[in-house]
Amino acid sequence: MAVDNFSPLISEIKSERDRLASLIEELQDLEDEMDGEPTGVELRAAASILHDYYTGLEKIFRLIALELDGDLPSGEDWHKRLLDRMAAKIEDLRPPVIDGELKEQLAEYLRFRHLFRHMYGFELRWTRCKPLVQKLPRIHRKITSAFDEFEDFLREVD
């Protein structure tokens, strides 16, 4: 292992996880306020939360890649390659952070984040956002469990 004290990494991951949990609460509050089909402003807010959620996940993935793997993927597709790497075991370094099923589910959020960044808000469609909004609490529970297991690994090797 390149690093023999993972307490700072665990602390940084926890801080980002707290932010992710806040986004889930914010999304639930927004859903509670929506009455059926969202207004344009509500749709933009939901899309922004989806964007922020994946961005927060990617911050954690970047921390892990830099601290444990020693680098970040490069190239135009580095975001996808980083997600792929998080589902891979890095021999003699670390176990997978997430499983293959969760990787595929998160890939939908990565694609949405890319779309969100490259379009105008008024072009958003609820039909595209709704399934992601509905699945996010379940995805969050899975990612929480995966991060719990990964932090246990870090504590064991620390």
Residue 158's pLDDT is what?
Answer: 72
Helix (H, G, I), strand (E, B) or coil at 92: coil
pLDDT, average across residues 46-64: 98
Indicate if the pLDDT at residue 69 is higher than 70.
yes
Indicate if the pLDDT at residue 125 is higher than 60.
yes
Indicate if the pLDDT at residue 135 is higher than 80.
yes
Which percentage of the chain shows pLDDT scores above 70? 97
Indicate if the pLDDT at residue 131 is higher than 90.
yes
Structure-token pair, residue 97:
């952070």
User: Per CATH, which fold does 7-157 belong to?
Assistant: Four Helix Bundle (Hemerythrin (Met), subunit A) (1.20.120)
Determine the Cα–Cα distance for residues 14 and 9; give it in Å rounded to an integer: 9
Which percentage of the chain shows pLDDT scores above 90? 92
Contact 101, 145 (CB under 8 A): no
Domain boundaries, the chain: 7-157
Q: What's the pTM value of the predicted model, to 2 decimals?
A: 0.93
pLDDT tens digit sequence for 74-83:
999 999 999 9
Distances (CA, A) of 44 to 20, 33, 52, 60, 130: 18, 14, 12, 25, 12
Residue 1's pLDDT is what?
Answer: 40
Residue 157's pLDDT is what?
Answer: 86
pLDDT band, very low/low/confident/very high, at 4 (cuts 50, 70, 90):
low
